[in-house]
Amino acid sequence: MAVVTGAGRGIGRAIAEALGAAGAHVVAAARSASEVEAAAAGINAAGGAATAIRADVASEGEVDALFAQVRDRLGRLDVLVNNAGIGLYGPLMDFGTADFDRLVAVNLRGTFLCCRQAMRMMVPRRSGYIINISSVVGFKGYVNQAAYTATKHGVMGLTKSLALEAQPHNIRVSVILPGGVDTEMAAKSRPDLDRSVLMKPQDVAQAVMFLLSLSDRAAVDEICIRRRMSAPF
């Protein structure tokens, strides 16, 4: 049983579809009810099993309700993919405090809230895998992306510490750092790029499936994934 946040479109939807095709019951979660319902319907139509739950990861109450439904309706949690995220950009000296707070609330606090709930379900069963989706900006910076970059660095720190906390409970925690992926967020952050040269959301989904294919003897801390040749970033 897998929960994917930000599953209504882009990378999250591709991950949810890949998990569904592999036989997992997928709980697709996102802020937009129409998008997440469409994602779940597509998985079900393709022969998989999916449940749509509208949830804003920036809201502690909605995150708690999401995982309560998972617990009550499905009884277990094997995989959590923290993909939900937003991008807001601009020069730091002009960047609004409210926009900074919103970035932190969704990208970092939301990941924290979902990880906390996942651990509470996984630890008693001594089993599970948490995969956080960061970004290439989790280890480098770009002009006009200071606030966004700060949140993705935060996701990296959270992941590294949680991996150590989870290890004694037989729970694995990894992070994927994609470079340029052809999504709406990439188009907004780098309008100068030719989207045809970017990776596709399915490339990130394949990285998730690779992690889940590993034996219990193996653990991967992080995967950096970029376009194979002449990556624009």
Domains and CATH numbers, the chain: 2-225 (3.40.50.720)
Residue 82 and residue 111 in contact, taking contact as beta carbons nearer than 8 Å = yes
Least confident of 88-92, 157-161, 224-228: 224-228
Distances 62 to 113, 184, 228 between C-alpha atoms, Å? 10, 25, 39
- CA quadruple 145, 146, 147, 153: dihedral sign: positive
Nearest-angstrom CA–CA distance, 186 and 191 = 8
pLDDT for position 183: 80
Is the model's pTM score more than 0.95?
no
The per-residue pLDDT for range 44-83, each reduced to its tens digit, is 999 999 999 999 999 999 999 999 999 999 999 999 999 9
The per-residue pLDDT for range 171-180, each reduced to its tens digit, is 999 999 998 8
Annotated catalytic residue 148: yes
